Amino acid sequence: MIYWETLKLRPTVDGLRVRERPGTQFKALGQVYVLDTLEPLEMHGRILEKLGETDSWIKVRTPNRTEGYVAAWFCQTIPPDLLTGNLNGMNLDLRHVRGGPSADRLTGLGWLRLPYKATPSQGFPSLNDAHNYYQPRLEEYARAGFKTMVILTHQTYGEGAGYYWPSMYAEDRAKWHQFVPQFAAVCGQLAARYANRNVVAAYQIWNEQDTPFALAQAAVPIQPEDYAYMLTECIKAIRAVDQQAKIITGGHMSGPSTGGTYARATIAAMPVGIRPDGIACHSYGRGAPDSPERFKNFGLVDDDINAYGAILRSQPIWITEYGVLDHPELPVSEVAAYGVSLVRYLRTYFARRVSSAMWYAWADGMHNGYGLVNESDQPKQPLYDQYLRA
């Protein structure tokens, strides 16, 4: 008898049908795609014999928990190393009094995400002054084995440079076309500083760009055609100096329908041959099937994964923020159950479709997030231990 503890399968083609019974004549229950992880429901030895065999069928469970049969000649095993990446992440802010913990306090996480605040309004007279502040901290995290995502926004360049964000569309769109080349140039300079040093693993261009204009507070919204221009120019500038780091979209905040429409419009407006390495979303109010009900009032995280994942089929999505906003009074034990359930669910069913899921935020007082540490910088248990070990 053969037993492979981590045996998981993947389709070799997009749109592989899941059938009610073995055979093409039977009802299709759904489709799966090359980044999906399929859970085999047969004896492992028999499955390994069937793989690649024409007219053989394998019973599987799909990420949306549908059970059915897929064509064995369009399936293969997933190498274990593709299932063991640590997608568990955390949002930091090195300019916040409690937002930049030492690396030893973050043990258990795979990803760290932080804004690169480099403008005079953030305390840096020049970009080089910002580098001198951020570089040793980023290097510390890299030495400890963390993958760091740097967010590039108006706080990286633009504040105090003559741009007033609420009026960027007051007359015409020329202001964005004036701003973008300057912003992209700064992004390229920043990327050159860290290129090929394994310090920055990913760059995220802007944040919550799909925010409704009437609701804009911390975020600076952009129309999708202008964001496409920004994303294109930033990709070109960063790729000119760094071919290794991932470059992804800002986190979409308006949900799988509205946000998905925005993301599709962005990609459609970009030149052929220039694409981000992934689409990001912020999955507040969405959870796993076993998450406490109060934390999934918008439904399951599957909706975000399926909507955004369908836009760039060959790329996983990035959940660059999720967590609990504006409710510091909620029981820590319930919040812990939510955070842990979502991470484990993603790891079990979406390990290849989701690159990371990053909690917002590390500390209470970082805007309106529910922190792992309180305003005295003390761990909030059991959330602190359970999330870092999830």
| CATH number of the domain residue 311 falls in | 3.20.20.80
On whether residue 219 sits in a domain, the answer given is: yes
Q: How many domains does the chain have?
A: 2
Whether residue 117 sits in one domain with residue 68: no
Whether residue 73 sits in one domain with residue 134: no
Domain termination site, one of 47, 81, 115 = 81
Residue among 278, 289, 260 at smallest CA distance from 354: 278
On whether residue 1 sits in a domain, the answer given is: no
Residue with tokens 């140039």: 185
What is the length of the chain? 390
Whether residue 296 sits in one domain with residue 247: yes
Q: What is this structure's pTM?
A: 0.89
Q: Which helix (H) or strand (E) holds 232?
A: helix 224-239
On whether residue 2 sits in a domain, the answer given is: no
Residue among 31, 109, 87 at smallest CA distance from 278: 87
On whether residue 3 sits in a domain, the answer given is: no
Q: Any idea what the CATH number is for the domain that residue 14 is in?
A: 2.30.30.40
Whether residue 173 sits in one domain with residue 77: no
Whether residue 112 sits in one domain with residue 218: yes
On whether residue 49 sits in a domain, the answer given is: yes
On whether residue 212 sits in a domain, the answer given is: yes
φ and ψ of 262, to 5 deg: -60, -45
Domain termination site, one of 81, 110, 142 = 81
Q: What is the pLDDT of residue 89?
A: 98
Whether residue 33 sits in one domain with residue 134: no
On whether residue 300 sits in a domain, the answer given is: yes
Whether residue 138 sits in one domain with residue 61: no
Domain termination site, one of 63, 81, 99 = 81
Distance CA 70, CA 58 (A): 5
On whether residue 353 sits in a domain, the answer given is: yes
Whether residue 250 sits in one domain with residue 356: yes
Whether residue 109 sits in one domain with residue 76: no
Instruction: From residue 9, give the alpha-carbon distance in Å to each of 31, 207, 209, 217, 350.
Output: 14, 34, 36, 44, 12
Q: What is the pLDDT of residue 83?
A: 67
φ and ψ of 116, to 5 deg: -100, 90
Whether residue 328 sits in one domain with residue 246: yes
Question: For residue 380, what are the domain limits?
Answer: 85-388
Per-residue pLDDT of the chain (390 residues; tens, 9 = 90+): 577 778 999 999 999 999 999 999 999 999 999 889 999 999 999 999 999 899 999 999 998 889 999 999 999 998 876 766 799 999 999 999 999 999 999 999 999 999 999 999 889 999 999 999 999 999 999 999 999 999 999 999 988 788 888 888 866 678 899 999 999 999 999 999 999 899 999 999 999 999 998 888 889 999 999 999 999 999 999 999 999 999 999 999 999 999 999 999 999 999 999 999 999 999 999 999 999 999 999 999 999 999 999 999 999 999 999 999 999 999 999 999 999 999 999 998 898 999 999 999 999 999 999 999 999 999 999 999 999 999
Distance CA 100, CA 255 (A): 29
Whether residue 271 sits in one domain with residue 186: yes
Whether residue 243 sits in one domain with residue 203: yes
